[in-house]
Chain A
Amino acid sequence: MANDCITMAHGAGGKISRDLMEKVILPEFGNPLLNELHDGASVNMSGNVAFTTDSYVVQPLFFPGGNIGKLAVCGTVNDLSMTGAVPRYISVGLILEEGFPIKDLRTILHTMRQMADKAGVMIVTGDTKVVAKGQADGIFINTAGIGDIIPGTHISPRNVKPGMKVLLSGFIGDHAATVMASRHGLELPPTITTDCAPLNGLTKAILETAPDVPVLRDPTRGGVAAVLNEIAESSGCGILIEEDALPIRPEVQGVCDILGFDPLYLANEGKCIAFVPAEEADAVLAVMRANEYGKDACIIGETTEEGAGEVGLRTPIGGIRVVDMPLGNLVPRIC
């Protein structure tokens, strides 16, 4: 490109807009459906369809192990996966701030394509807008996606019954700890990065093993605590988890100790919580552990008749405390 920053002209719809599409976006995203450059994509679907959308506004845009583009593609893939669907097609809407470096845009788009390929989805339509300096924070991304519901599945929290096992696909808090550490002057070893990953392979394997699994959820904002509270409330069951059983990396616990956070409230971008009938728990655990994103899967607790609508946590000394809904932004507690 002639200049290396986004200008208002890139969003004006003329030749310079076209240049951005042909020289920056298509080289990364290009595929037969997108290359048509129609107003929309025409795709084939069979049976019931899952449909989702989400917007991404993270700071910093780049962090250890990923960037906003990785979050956007994986987030939409995962939302479809948790609905019991095989993700097929996604759209990408970009809102760019005047002055945003085109080099950074290329990096983000490249990551998005990599993640789409990894998840086996196609980016089939999109949109680009440019706003004046100061009216956005570098780049905002909206992704929407559609997928085929896997026949025979019945994802609904209402199907959660007492006595089911709660399975978690791996270590919690990695994503939030990575982002928080960079915001608050903490350094993490290079082994600790965002856990952001597409989970459609994992959820498909779970549902093929146990089609009657009533809940699959990815504990993003609000963390494990938010997901468990939502399920307890909508199912009317109690949920009791064991503090000992929660997989937390020592480094993530370290960030929490220093900043006064509770790992149960930290966001994850590549984890899955499954509610599984007790008799199928071992089989599901085995297929989760066989997947690259479920190697550290474990059972963290179970649903109960007691404590209806609430989440309890049994501490190592045998006491029980309530795990409530997160209340707002996480701020460091010195205090």
Chain B
Amino acid sequence: MSAQEERRQAQELVAVIEREAKAAGRPLRFMEVCGTHTVSIFRAGIRQLLPENVELVSGPGCPVCVTPDSYMDKAIAYAERDDVIITTFGDMLKVPGSRSSLNEVRAKGADIRIVYSPLDSVKVAAENPDKKVVFLAVGFETTAPTAAATVIAAEKQGLKNLYMLSAHKLVPPVMHALLNDPDVKVDGFILPGHVCVITGTKPFAFLPAQYHLPGVVTGFEAVPILRSLARLTTMAARGEAAVENEYPSVVRTDGNPVSRQLTEQVYEPVDAEWRGIGMVPKSGLRMRDAFAAHDIERILPLDIQTVPKKTACRCGDVLRGVVKPVECPLFGKACIPTHAVGPCMVSVEGVCAAWYKYGRGRFIYGK
């Protein structure tokens, strides 16, 4: 699409949003629950184009941010062992545990390797037969199948030294938790496009059915995001509630059944802790007994106690969309990306990091 065409479509969609928001005649709050949407909204400069009464809030869409201290403490403890190589996505390196971070133990000599794909861990395991290779398996429904497939690939190759430290999270259960929280007020959801590629749209049918709220699945460019906002505003203004798919190029009703089957083969749902939100029933994944041989927590159990840190950090409220990052007393002062206090400032996709990086601007054109 040419830039002119993109601009034309954006202007038309903004006009639709303005018209419908006016018709609604009340403040509307829409939440995105995918970190890539959070970043895309900032990068495209979408907030400034929206009418006064349409507010976008970010939910717990960054898997690095919602990973609790206790997980990071375990990852760090494994990394400090001489017989362990950690493989991880790059974003995990800076996340603070209760006493250190992977970056710090790496500087002291821990063998920690950044991978683009979980499958790269298989190669590392094959090349280092005398080491235990532990992949830090975080991510939502989109990423869990890639970790499951990696475990199965290792089984097929007869590799016994590849392990997962699993903290996968599931999106629909945490949305339930948010919607049952009286502090959280939203009028609809931008649904996570790439999660829906795997899950399909059906798992989000509870939104209209139980909460009478609209949800729109969409992609990650400026125009598709505006498209979803045009639909959400329209439905909210008209009192309608439905799950709509504005990303049909890759999102099908039934998602990707092969991926889900692999995930189910390796993992089972389990109650899980979300940083800032707490325990959410059946919102995480743990490895099934059949794959216990690849579960580092069962092969090398750790006995470490994580003592919660006491800070004024309001990440928990930020992740629930209750306060904006700028309302946190630490934001931009004690807590900046290079010296993050809370997890939302650590990851590139964290809500606070995105606000800090793109949103402090003194350039104000329009809103």
Contact = CB atoms under 8 A, between A and B. Distances in A.
Interface of A: 184-185, 238, 240, 244, 259-260, 306-310, 312, 314-322, 324, 327-328, 331-335
A335 B347 contact: yes
A319 B62 CA distance: 24
Given A184-B116, A259-B116, A335-B349, A317 B45 contact: yes
Given A317-B6, A320-B365, A327 B43 contact: no
A320 B361 contact: yes
A331 B6 CA distance: 30
B254 to A, nearest CB: 25
A317 B223 CA distance: 8
A318 B7 CA distance: 7
Contacts of B357: 322, 324
B239 to A, nearest CB: 29
Given A244-B3, A307-B361, 11 more contacts: A309-B362, A314-B365, A316-B222, A317-B49, A317-B226, A320-B48, A321-B42, A322-B360, A331-B90, A332-B114, A332-B116
B89 A334 contact: yes
B45 A318 contact: yes
Q: Which 8 A-B pairs have the closest CB atoms?
A: A319-B45, A331-B90, A317-B10, A312-B363, A322-B361, A307-B363, A335-B91, A316-B3
Given A317-B222, A320-B48, A333 B90 contact: yes
A320 to B, nearest CB: 5
- Among A240, A309, A320, the one with the most B-chain Cβ atoms within 10 Å of its Cβ is A320
B365 A316 contact: no
Contacts of B338: 327-328
9 contacts: A185-B120, A238-B363, A314-B365, A316-B10, A317-B11, A331-B91, A333-B91, A334-B90, A335-B138
B293 interface: no
Contacts of A310: 361-363
Nearest to B356: A324
A324 B11 CA distance: 27
Contacts of B42: 321
A58 B348 CA distance: 25
A3 to B, nearest CB: 30
Interface in B2-26: 3, 6-7, 10-11
Nearest to A328: B338
A321 B338 CA distance: 20
A332 B359 CA distance: 23
Contacts of B90: 331-335
Contacts of B87: none
A333 B91 CA distance: 7
A184 B6 CA distance: 32
B97 interface: no
Given A328-B338, A335-B64, A335-B89, A320 B45 contact: yes
Contacts of B35: 335
B192 interface: no
Nearest to A334: B89
B143 interface: yes
B347 to A, nearest CB: 7
Contacts, number: 109
A320 B222 contact: no
Interface string B72-90: 0000000000000000011
A185 B49 contact: no
A315 B143 CA distance: 30
A310 to B, nearest CB: 5
Nearest to B138: A335
Nearest to B361: A322
Contacts of A238: 362-363
Contact of A334 (B143, B358, B361): B143
B44 interface: yes
A114 to B, nearest CB: 35
A319 B44 contact: yes
A43 to B, nearest CB: 43
A315 B360 contact: no
A308 B362 contact: yes
A215 B259 CA distance: 54
Interface in B297-338: 337-338
Given A310-B361, A331-B93, A331-B114, A315 B63 contact: no
B179 interface: no
Interface in B147-189: none
A117 B226 CA distance: 54
B277 interface: no
Interface in B31-78: 35, 42-49, 62-64
> Which of B47, B91, B138 has the most C-beta atoms of chain A within 10 angstroms of its own C-beta?
B91
A312 B222 CA distance: 17
Interface string B277-294: 000000000000000000
A306 B44 contact: no
B358 to A, nearest CB: 5
Contacts of B337: 327
A22 B105 CA distance: 46
B114 A321 contact: no
A225 to B, nearest CB: 11
A65 B64 CA distance: 37
A334 B362 contact: no
Contact of A317 (B7, B348, B362): B7
A332 B361 CA distance: 26
Contacts of A328: 338
B139 interface: yes
